[in-house]
A = this chain, B = another copy of it.
């Protein structure tokens, strides 16, 4: 179990930091994607008041499963992975989170999963209790949260279909298309798509081993469907073909 939690520096408390904006939230580029997008300009101060910035390096843990769930988070840059472990160390990634994504929503008093940075990342941290107050004040925000939870639920069901019924080949094709679609949503490059996580992380997300992930990548490469570029980027040569593969064609 890696430790390094203390490296998770708390930065940028919600204070004015430029002459143009009274809070970092006003300058937040992904606000519309995130929970905070539910608020109007003049209400943003309320959320800024309870927000703390968090910065993580590659591999830094954010929280561990079972820990008291005192905060919830919103990713503002980078990539974060969330996962569950079995007693013997087997790991299942339950998601990769990108800017705008929300984590820590727990019905219980403890986190149901662990979270760790994939790349250098920034997040906004909200104390649960105080966010709860805001949710009661702004029903629009609560509604947004419900919408986000519904999306997550739909994605989880899609992932169950993948884990339970797709072959390694179908899984990898689905994974690449998913990454590409999500990059597009965020206005990032969708075609040579960034794949910042390791083969091992991908395997734990798709229910495969690193070896199988690696072999399947090369297989798709030789089939002319993708090209592996330096810097962990993947070019989707044959999007249409990949879509067919991902759906079992």
A interface vs B, CB < 8 Å? 84, 86-88, 90-92, 94, 105-108, 112-113, 136, 139, 142-143, 145-147, 149-154, 156-161, 163-166, 204, 206-207, 247-249
Chain A residues touching B, majority SS: helix
> Within the assembled complex, what's the spacing in Å between the Cα atoms of A47 and B217?
53
Contacts of A107 in B (CB 8 A): 147, 150-151, 154
Contacts of A153 in B (CB 8 A): 105, 149, 152-153, 156
| Chain B: minimal CB distance from A209 (Å) | 11
| B159 x A86 contact (CB < 8 A) | no
> Within the assembled complex, what's the spacing in Å between the Cα atoms of A113 and B106?
24
Which of B86, B112, B165 sits near A90, CB closer than 8 Å? B165
> Within the assembled complex, what's the spacing in Å between the Cα atoms of A159 and B154?
14
Contacts of A207 in B (CB 8 A): 163-165
Contacts of A154 in B (CB 8 A): 106-108, 112
